[in-house]
Amino acid sequence: MIPTIIAIVVVIVIVCVIAGIYNNMVTLRNRIDNAWQNIDTQLQRRNDLIPNLVETVKGYASHEREALAAVTNARNAAVTATTPDEKMAADGVLTSALRQLFAVAEAYPDLKANANFMQLQTSLEDTENKVSYARQSYNDCVLNYNNAIQTFPGVIFAGIFQFKERQGFEAEEAARSVPNVKF
């Protein structure tokens, strides 16, 4: 009778440990999805502000068509991206195009003094800060999740329950360079 009770207790402990590991992996995976949704929300906010910014700049710097077209094309690519990887890539291109546009705006004192442009620029900068924070949070969630599924004992159960490694957000190489503006 005692060996049976001990066996039952051991089985219950093992089941509880496995359930705890599984539940932790699910929680971490859900945090990644939530963090990505936060990034997506901020990217959408930025995409909504960009047409207003482009229209404001057009009024002052209509001959800067190349910079305006680059922002518009990058925004359209960002809006049509569907997967997180596509959105990450489109986001990098859009960030680079916005830097170029703001660099162009520096050459137009009247534009820089325009209240509408200043408000839009401030809103975009605020959104960029939120995107940056959301990216950091996403990468932290990915790191925690990947650590959980790659370390013992999680690595054993990750394969059994088909938990796959996730990729963090990495900035495009072009986003690390300063835009080159020629007048």
- Whichever domain contains 138, its CATH number is 1.20.1440.20
In single-letter form, the type of residue at position 89 comes to A
Q: Is residue 180 part of a domain?
A: no
Total number of domains constituting the chain: 1
Residue 93 gets the label, from left (phi > 0), alpha (psi -120 to 50) or beta, of alpha
Host domain of residue 120: 2-175
Q: Is residue 125 part of a domain?
A: yes
Q: Is residue 182 part of a domain?
A: no
User: How high is the pLDDT of residue 180?
Assistant: 55
What average pLDDT score do residues 67-93 get?
89
Does pLDDT of 40 surpass 60?
yes
Residue 3 gets the label, from left (phi > 0), alpha (psi -120 to 50) or beta, of alpha
pTM of the entire predicted model? 0.77
Q: Is residue 83 part of a domain?
A: yes
User: How high is the pLDDT of residue 161?
Assistant: 94
Q: What is the dihedral of CA 40, 93, 102, 38, to 10 degrees?
A: 10
Q: Is residue 183 part of a domain?
A: no
Residues 6+ apart with CB under 8 A from 94: 46, 50, 71, 74, 75, 77, 78
What average pLDDT score do residues 59-64 get?
73
In single-letter form, the type of residue at position 75 comes to R
Q: Which residue has the tokens 């990750």?
A: 158
Q: Is residue 181 part of a domain?
A: no
Percent with pLDDT over 90 in the chain: 49
Does pLDDT of 112 surpass 90?
no
Q: Is residue 140 part of a domain?
A: yes
Model confidence at 171, in pLDDT bands (50, 70, 90)? low
Does pLDDT of 13 surpass 90?
yes
Q: Is residue 20 part of a domain?
A: yes
Of residues 111 and 119, more confidence is placed in 119
